[in-house]
Structure 1
């Protein structure tokens, strides 16, 4: 029987990431597992070489204060879903790297992410967080279909 004692989920404050938090919190409740909510932050953008459009030319910036707010909002969602043990972590770095690094260092059994960017041309060409997480995660990854929650 598969069981999970620690489930992690990433949030960037978007509606789609809140849907992933809701799914992870539900699983944490069902498995009586600790829920670790992670928000990555980084203060500097880095240009992508030869990016054809301005909107593709840098990594999105999420300030540290914004990450704090994302975590507070996600905690409310997780509590509404009935997760009993919730831990909030603000991690410096690019989202996919921060998530996989935190999972490796923290004994997480399952990582939950939304599918934001998976079905877009930009995501297919330049990569996206869910794909990078799946490639690099040392644990099982659950990708939540958040298409109805895109923002």
Structure 2
């Protein structure tokens, strides 16, 4: 049986590193003719990021729903330029880890693509980071994209 991904989830917070992950996910979606779901977390009323288990995971900038939707529109343009044909956008209130793992169940995704930001930092190793926590919680394949700029 050949490996094939049919539904891919990727997150964006508007950063250059997250958009590199979006580009990678969109390329995979094109190759596999898969649906690409791009998600962005925002901090909604009544939802405390301080309840998150990991300090580093909860120390996220407060983003409005409007800003999250702007991030999604930019990511969608990048995904279309990369050749992804079937793209869904989802702005959700919650932490990045929460919305990425929930999106897997909501979309029947079989792959999460995420940048490796924080994986190789001391803070990330001690307190946790979004990519590691997503990989720990996900019950599907997780691809970590190297988002560091190449050294010259």
Short-chain TM bin: 0.7 to 0.9
- TM-score (structure 2 length as normaliser): 0.87
Mapped partners of 1:143, 1:56: distance in 2: 17
Task: Confirm or deny: 8 A CA contact 1:42 1:63 kept in the other structure.
Answer: yes
Correspondence for 2:123: 122
Counterpart residue number, 1:138: 139
Note if 1:13 corresponds to 2:14.
yes
The CA deviation at 1:66 is: 1.0
Structure 1 runs of 4+ with >6 Å offset: none
Structural RMSD (CA):
2.3
1:104-134 CA distances to partner (integer Å, 9 max, x unpaired)? 2220111100001111111112111000000
Count residues in correspondence.
145
Offset at residue 56 of structure 1 (A): 9.6
What secondary structure does 1:111 align onto? strand
1:61-88 Cα distance to aligned partner (Å, 9 max, x none): 1211110011001001101100011110
Separation in 1, partners of 2:100, 2:75:
16
With normalisation by structure 1, the TM-score equals: 0.88
SS at match of 1:16: helix
Name structure 1 gaps, 5 residues minimum: none
1:90 and 2:94 equivalent?
no
Task: Output the CA distance in 1 between the equivalents of 2:32 and 2:89.
Answer: 19
Q: 1:45–1:60: 8 Å Cα contact kept in structure 2?
A: no
Tell me the distance in 2 between the aligned counterparts of 1:80 and 1:47.
38
